[in-house]
Amino acid sequence: MQSLEEQARRYATEVHAAAGQRRKYTDEPYIVHPAAVVELVRSVTDNEHMLAAAWLHDTVEDTGTTLADIERQFGAEVATLVGMLTDSSQPQAKNRAARKVAHFRHTADAAPEAQTIKLADIIDNTRAIVQYDPDFARIYLVEKQVQIGLLQQGDATLWQQAKVTIEQGIAQLREKPYNVPEAWFTRQAAKYVL
């Protein structure tokens, strides 16, 4: 019999592949991202529900999977964690900043276990975005800096790692060839009124 985590890994691999998802910058199969998130989570816990939710964290947002599907196959605890990580659509939001603020509030209210998975997600995504898309990274890093300030209940080790990863990304963008002034980051952060 397969473990809950192995079932989640197989499921996530299948549904992301069926949706034709690939990593944006590398064209690798999308599952490399959940796998990286799982390994970061595993570095701080062996909780099988958290590991399963880490594999599944993008399935509801990015595939035809529903939270009901997750609950039916993996139980209420995993579905609850995935729900806490899922960015719900915000049709009333006027712009990106408003949509992100709504999502930040959603994850700020999440359980510590979900916040830990979100921190791992931020770490992995930040590394890729800074490396492959420095133009978008300018906005993304500001958003993630704001968001991790609200994820204080997540694992302290991953919180610190996320903070350092974001700070390193910002420092890299402040140097040549990008030369983004510190004041630019400060002005952008002001858009995210919580």
Which CATH number characterizes residue 12's domain? 1.10.3210.10
The verdict on 65 and 24 lying in the same domain is: yes
Residue 101, pLDDT > 90, answer no
The verdict on 62 and 100 lying in the same domain is: no
Tens digit of each residue's pLDDT (9 = 90 or more) over 30-62: 999 999 999 999 999 999 999 999 999 999 999
Catalytic residue list? 61-62
Q: How far apart are CA 24 and CA 107, in angstroms?
A: 24
Question: Is the bond leading into 134 cis (omega within 30 degrees of zero)?
Answer: no
Top-confidence residue, 191 or 115: 115
Residue 119, pLDDT > 90, answer yes
The verdict on 75 and 93 lying in the same domain is: no
Whole-number pLDDT of residue 169: 96
Among 51, 67, 86, residue at a domain's last position: 86
Structural domain of 164? 89-194
Among 32, 62, 86, residue at a domain's last position: 86
**Per-residue DSSP letters for 28-69?**
-BTTHHHHHHHHHHHTT---HHHHHHHHHTTHHHHSS--HHH
Whole-number pLDDT of residue 162: 98
The verdict on 99 and 181 lying in the same domain is: yes
Tens digit of each residue's pLDDT (9 = 90 or more) over 121-171: 999 999 999 999 999 999 999 999 999 999 999 999 999 999 999 999 999
The verdict on 66 and 162 lying in the same domain is: no
The verdict on 179 and 98 lying in the same domain is: yes
> How many structural domains are present in the chain?
2
Whole-number pLDDT of residue 141: 96
Q: How far apart are CA 160 and CA 85, in angstroms?
A: 20
Q: What percent of the chain has pLDDT over 90?
A: 80
The verdict on 108 and 193 lying in the same domain is: yes
